[in-house]
Amino acid sequence: MATTYKTPGVYIEEISKFPPSIAEVATAIPVFIGYTEKVIIDGIDLAKEASDKKKVAADAQKALADSDLAKALKTAQDALKTAQTALENAKKALEATPDDQAKKDAVTNAEKAVSDAQSAVDAAQKAADDSDLGKAAKAAQDQADEAGMPIPVRITSLLEYEQSFGKTEPAQGIIVMIEETLNQSVVVDRKVTGSIQESPKHNLYYAMQAYFKNGGGPGYVVSVGTMAEAKGVISAADLQRGIEAIAKEDEVTLFVFPESQALNDADRAGVFGDALNQCGKLQDRFVIMDMQ
């Protein structure tokens, strides 16, 4: 393309025939794992879908538990426990007098009773599993286990986050103190201080706000459940499911767990351990660990 020059002279224009040697790519793509207000992906309310399937599974399990098959299984299991206790007692009695033939026979008979009771339990369990109620309960549980959460979602703005995951619960226990200094009924100085009695456990939304307000770009969110279902309890097992869900996303380079601060030391170590293991295996990501 011709260039218009404003002064006379000799100009040399170099035309590059090669693309840039270094491709411009994002180097820090975080994944935020935690609880959200909602989980609506592509118009589907995954949180409600998962909740509905869990309820169906619970109802199916209850129907099975109330059936005669389940009662027969419970009776067989109780008989097995009784037989196992009798065997333990027979062995203890034999230890006192190892040469007592009658006690040896008692142990042998008790072992056979345990074996027969175990066979009865196995048969009752198979009958329950093979029944229509058993199959329905298993199918419902499988569907509940496979319900569409957690799913990694790529976002580029706080607005996208709010559309899919909502905001957060209102903070509780906020105290605002206003101190005014008066001079002849005129306010000459005013001091405002604020405090919160307990920091909210569900702080993922605040982390997202800070991320985007400080120039954050694309990132991923893995919702491990809704705040309403969690009821203020942060589960290490839920966060670990989120870690597993993000393993196949090659673009992710950074784990962030804002809510991990609410875990005890042992649970926090388990979550961070799983994240570090994935980092070591994939060699393409690292972890930010908030230690309270």
- pLDDT tens string 184-206: 888 888 999 888 777 778 899 99
Exposed/middle/buried for residue 117 (C-beta within 10 Å: 0-12, 13-18, 19+): buried
What does the pLDDT read at residue 126? Answer: 92
> Quick one: pLDDT band at residue 17, thresholds 50, 70, 90?
low
- The percent of residues in the chain predicted with pLDDT above 70, rounded, is 93
- HSE value, Cβ hemisphere, 13 Å, CA-based, for 83: 20
pLDDT of residue 51: 77
Q: Is the pLDDT of residue 129 over 80?
A: yes
Instruction: Report which DSSP code applies to 231.
Output: T
Asked whether the bond before 150 is cis by omega within 30 degrees of 0, the reply is yes
Mean pLDDT check: name the lowest of 42-51, 83-92, 156-165, 174-183: 42-51
Amino acid 29: pLDDT: 93
Q: What are the tokens at 271?
A: 């979550």
CA gap 138, 65 in Å, rounded: 13
Distance of CA 202 to the CA centre of its chain: 13
Q: Answer whether residue 23 shows pLDDT above 70.
A: no
pLDDT at 169: 81
Q: What is the mean pLDDT of the chain?
A: 87
* The pLDDT of residue 67 is above 70: yes
pLDDT band at 238 (very low <50, low <70, confident <90, very high): very high
Residue 183 reports pLDDT greater than 60: yes
Q: Is the pLDDT of residue 20 over 60?
A: no
pLDDT value for 21: 54
What is the distance between the alpha carbons of residues 165 and 288, in angstroms, rounded to a whole number? Answer: 22
Q: Is the pLDDT of residue 26 over 70?
A: no
Render 107-142 in DSSP notation, one character per residue. HHHHHHHHHHHHHHHHHHHHHHHHSHHHHHHHHHHH
User: Where on the phi/psi map is residue 271: left (φ > 0), alpha (ψ -120 to 50), or beta?
Assistant: alpha
| Ordered domains of the chain (ranges, CATH) | 30-39+149-171+197-288 (3.40.50.11780), 68-130 (1.10.287)
pTM for the model stands at 0.65
Distant-in-sequence, close-in-space partners of 278: CB < 8 Å, separation ≥ 6? 243, 247, 285
How far apart CA 107 and CA 87 sit, in angstroms, is 6
Buried b (16+ CB within 10 A) or exposed e, 267-281: bbeebbebbbebbee
Mean pLDDT of all residues in 120-135: 90
pLDDT at 19: 62
Please say if the pLDDT value at position 229 is more than 90.
no
229-252: burial string, b at 16+ Cβ within 10 Å, e else: ebeeebbbebbbbbbebbeeeebb
pLDDT average, residue stretch 264-275 = 95
* Cα 147 from chain centre: 13
If pLDDT is split at 50, 70 and 90, which confidence band does 24 have?
Answer: low
